[in-house]
Homo-oligomer: A and B are copies of this chain.
């Protein structure tokens, strides 16, 4: 919104009542978080209901505004930023509409696709901005239909900047944001939650402050659910505006837009765009330090923190909206200092939930994609049914093929040079591959002094939970059992456990021990002999790239490996080892050797041939120890295997 300007003027009044009133809001005191929906209400609530529930419970919240990136690489970085800032628990994020950047297209940099990624792949409640100026009704309807199809549920309705110097009303066109609000309500009924912009000092083009307030009221009465304001520099400005709104009958939530000053130039540019005036006392501080970015940012953080405190202390403000300018540091610091950045170790489910409405009911996934949730979401995006398709005697719907390993939301955050440093400029044999796996597990630098912070199957460092298994993992990787996924057994830990807990409090979580790895056919032969001794206790699936499959699973039933018991609920079993989907995962897991690792090297180079050899000859193995209350026997299985080989 920082990059938009907007104007409302008189239009036909609407009989529609205040769109901000929430239907079906519940009085539950649970805090709700957009990035981590909980098992209950939160996943089923719309944004305006979440907002209402937070207001009722007195639980303060924040939201974050981003603009779409200019390049594909910037898109990769922005998505990482969504993941990192999503961890702080924003109620929503919003993505601005860039008329110049083909905002409704399928480009990876378009507003539409960035919002789509935020919802579906990062699991963030998201508002997509949309402007109506200079667009046909059909264009707008098309954008809205596409947004709906992609799972977007919230629109910020704006006028947008006129194209020419002098702007003129078009007859029967969309001239004001209120026209867009009405259009959305006419064409899509109550499907979208609608947000509109408020101007604490009045819109610069409005006849007067009072006239602008009346325009705002029209937008609300036309069906908007809440208001986000333009930035301002003093808390009094917002509080007076809010009172004036209430005085003329605007009762929906009004969220102050906060702009932490992050640098001299960005401030100047913004002020120019928004036609706002920077108060003299701020200019006085900034001008002398205008070349010292750090100093300005520190000052900006101070200023924002103190203004936000005044707003929250007023009792009139329940949520704060941040203009991030796509940067992390200043906003995160303000939020942490305000105490509303909630790096909550609690997870609603053991995996990252998607925010697409059709995935609200999803509560079980195969364990294989634990470190590649975005790939799983991509491959199942065509599914319409989740619980029925995945639960019970699963006949899994077909998994989509993963054709493009370079989709920006699946792409590694590390550039080629970095990967080469981590995984070896030159491999000398299978052992150098073993070493890479071992360094990833131990966190020690490789022989060239570089830490291995990611792997083709794991874009992030080792999970805290996996750390519990570090010692054993190190031992087996050194010897060519190349682990890519594992979990310890858990026999009823509280759901609030900081490492393995998930779901609502008062529950208990359980796990069966799991180990997944690539290994040579020689080791597989020994392993199979050893597994005979563990026949009833350990389930295994062993497959090579050609799909030759060895298993002792009696039929195609999934094996639940993570489950939780909660007060007043049915059992939740969010993770399974599913024999059907394992064969889809197998294709992806083997392909990653080539797509992400082998292709770093020249064709025909020895390094590339080593990876190719592993890809062609190794097996992918998964093991489950069914006897979760006893000590995990999988390490014993591996030890026995090595012993047999000696």
Contact = CB atoms under 8 A, between A and B. Distances in A.
A510 B361 contact: no
Contacts of A557: 568-570
A40 interface: yes
B555 A40 contact: yes
A508 interface: yes
Contacts of A563: 565, 571
Which of A510, A566, A571 has the most chain B CB atoms closer than 10 A to its own CB? A571
Given A558-B570, A570-B573, A565 B510 contact: yes
A628 interface: yes
Contacts of A570: 391-392, 394, 557-560, 573, 576
B555 A567 contact: no
A568 B506 contact: no
Contact of A567 (B361, B387, B506, B626): B626
Interface string A524-551: 0000000000001101000000000000
Contacts of A428: none
A554 B568 contact: yes
Contacts of A280: none
A563 B508 CA distance: 13
A491 interface: yes
A186 interface: no
Interface residues of A, number: 40
A215 B445 CA distance: 83
> How many copies make up the complex?
2
Interface in A265-283: none
A407 interface: no
Contacts of A400: none
Contacts of A539: 567-568
Given A492-B629, A629-B492, A567 B536 contact: yes
Which of A553, A568, A624 has the most chain B CB atoms closer than 10 A to its own CB? A568
A505 to B, nearest CB: 8
Interface string A412-440: 00000000000000000000000000000
Contacts of A646: none
A12 interface: no
A566 to B, nearest CB: 8
A569 B579 CA distance: 11
Interface string A557-596: 1111001011111110100100000000000000000000
A271 to B, nearest CB: 49
Contacts of A568: 539, 553-554, 557, 559, 624, 626
Contacts of A636: none
A573 to B, nearest CB: 5
A571 B565 CA distance: 11
A136 interface: no
A393 interface: yes
A563 B553 CA distance: 21
A28 interface: yes
Contacts of A627: 506, 567
29 contacts: A40-B554, A41-B555, A361-B392, A387-B391, A388-B392, A391-B392, A391-B570, A392-B570, A394-B570, A491-B492, A492-B629, A506-B537, A508-B628, A508-B629, A510-B565, A536-B567, A553-B568, A554-B568, A557-B568, A557-B569, A559-B567, A559-B568, A560-B569, A560-B570, A563-B571, A567-B626, A567-B627, A570-B573, A571-B571
Given A559-B567, A565-B628, 7 more contacts: A388-B388, A506-B536, A506-B626, A508-B629, A568-B626, A570-B573, A571-B571
Report the 3 A-B pairs with minimum CB-CB distance, sorted nearest first.
Answer: A567-B626, A539-B568, A571-B573
Interface of A: 28, 40-41, 361, 387-388, 391-394, 491-492, 506, 508, 510, 536-537, 539, 553-555, 557-560, 563, 565-571, 573, 576, 624, 626-629
